Structure 1
């Protein structure tokens, strides 16, 4: 195993994973990332919903003011789905032996794919209850979801978790939680850049320049493709979960495996949205 090369690594920022504490209660950056991801996502979603010209027939999936009600649904669905996804996909044997630990989220066990499934179910139900197009609802969360991804991956970096394989590249980072203390790929920052910033800019172009929200399902499909490709690419330099390792004795990881269905669904949504007949855009007064 390579030894750390002096002068050729980036210093790890000495940031306490606990943002602040009030008596015995500690608030972690990871929890704040979830909270502000939902708040900022809801604020951006509000602006999208208000802009009737972006949507098919001038009709968003639900009224702009309803986004704050949905934010509560979103927070619950992400936490519940993320936790159940981690239990089922990443450490089922342990939790079957210790069922009381399933609700103990202090161990940090959360699955992005599980959280995404929970969020999809929440937006489909919420949108249908309000009489909107559920595909447009998926487009909405795809447009705002990159904000939460960016903040979440930055929180992973602060927690010194989910880091990458050893590297001799000049931007390698020695993480304080690494028992080997060797420079590693800051894979959390790779994901923050690709899944968060780059994907946000791509989707922003699609929603506001190409007017992709007028084709329900298109933005959601682009998100699925973009996230999956970014995640699979980073998985090549990101260490797999210790309790799982590489699957089938090779290079395949659980993150790659869970991203493949998302990739296929994304392609299907893009094909469907691009080939269906685009409805005429009605006047914005249709919202009243």
Structure 2
């Protein structure tokens, strides 16, 4: 027994050759909502270290532009390197023996990778922090607070597209996705990810920063985000259908799990480091 899949046209509207897809809107909405949230967060100076928020309002507007580039470029290149490396080596399409578009621009084939987007944003953040001589760890903390918002929008868009669906399961809220060639009832794993990576992680970070002053310890909020995302992604990978074109990994591991383990370990180290520094300072 399954729940009917609420079929929604992936194209929100189309005017002539131009079409706006829910997936594109998710990126735009996630960046806009994240920017709005951060404009409020940097005004609450009591939440930050004595030096204050890492950026001014003008610098926030500037860095959001570069974050958008980091997300798009890193997400696309990350997908190619992590999930479809053959698309870099072999031409995707040929026109009289000439590749008409660079592989990274041919977004109608393949998708985006969160881990690649994270690397892109990290590189942008390091560059921006060094250019403006601002605290790199506090800047990462700021990004971490808003990232679950974008993750939530992105996973909802995955659900609307009927992509990245779950493993076969004939449970009370299973769904048959129209994009599934096998037409089997499956876990709506996109909604699991939206709930864990988006709602739950945002809530944890909200209370950790507002009630427990985590932003006063540079690097701790970023560490908590990395650890929380790693745990969430590893959990959901047990319900998400593995990519068919990926090789089989030992012990039932998936590419998503293997990419999330370093995040989990780095996040745990960052949190431990900030608490260890506090204890050392108090000694």
DSSP 3-state at the match of 1:43? helix
Give the conservation status (yes or no) of the 8 Å contact 2:78–2:117: yes
| Cα distance in 2 between the residues matched to 1:157 and 1:246 | 25
Structure 1 position 130 matched with structure 2 position 119: no
1:16 to 6, 9, 20: 9
**Structure 1 residues 91-134: Cα deviation after superposition (integer angstroms, max 9, x where no partner):** 10232101633321122411110001101111222123222110
In the alignment, what sits opposite 1:47?
A: 40
**Structure 1 residues 107-163: Cα deviation after superposition (integer angstroms, max 9, x where no partner):** 241111000110111122212322211000000010000000000000000000000
Greater relative contact order, per chain length (Cα 8 Å cut-off, separation 6+): 1
| Cα distance in 2 between the residues matched to 1:127 and 1:45 | 17
The root-mean-square deviation of aligned C-alpha atoms, in Å, is: 1.5
Output aligned runs, 1:113-262, within 5 Å. Answer: 113-248=115-250, 250-262=251-263
**Structure 1 residues 167-205: Cα deviation after superposition (integer angstroms, max 9, x where no partner):** 011000110001111110000000000000000000000
2:63 to 70, 91, 95: 70
Structure 1 position 31 matched with structure 2 position 24: yes
| Cα distance in 2 between the residues matched to 1:39 and 1:70 | 13
When the two structures are superposed, what TM-score results if normalisation uses the length of structure 1?
A: 0.91
When the two structures are superposed, what TM-score results if normalisation uses the length of structure 2?
A: 0.92
Shift, 1:237, TM fit: 1.1
Shift, 1:22, TM fit: 1.8
Shift, 1:19, TM fit: 1.1
DSSP 3-state at the match of 2:38? helix
Give the conservation status (yes or no) of the 8 Å contact 1:240–1:253: yes
Shift, 1:58, TM fit: 4.3
1:82 to 75, 78, 83: 75
Shift, 1:60, TM fit: 1.0
Give the conservation status (yes or no) of the 8 Å contact 1:78–1:119: yes
| Cα distance in 1 between the residues matched to 2:103 and 2:116 | 17
Q: Which runs of 4+ in 1 moved over 4 A?
A: none
Unaligned runs of 5+ in 2: 93-101
Unaligned runs of 5+ in 1: 1-7, 281-288
| Cα distance in 2 between the residues matched to 1:147 and 1:96 | 34
Shift, 1:66, TM fit: 2.0
1:97 to 83, 90, 100: 90
Give the conservation status (yes or no) of the 8 Å contact 1:45–1:144: yes
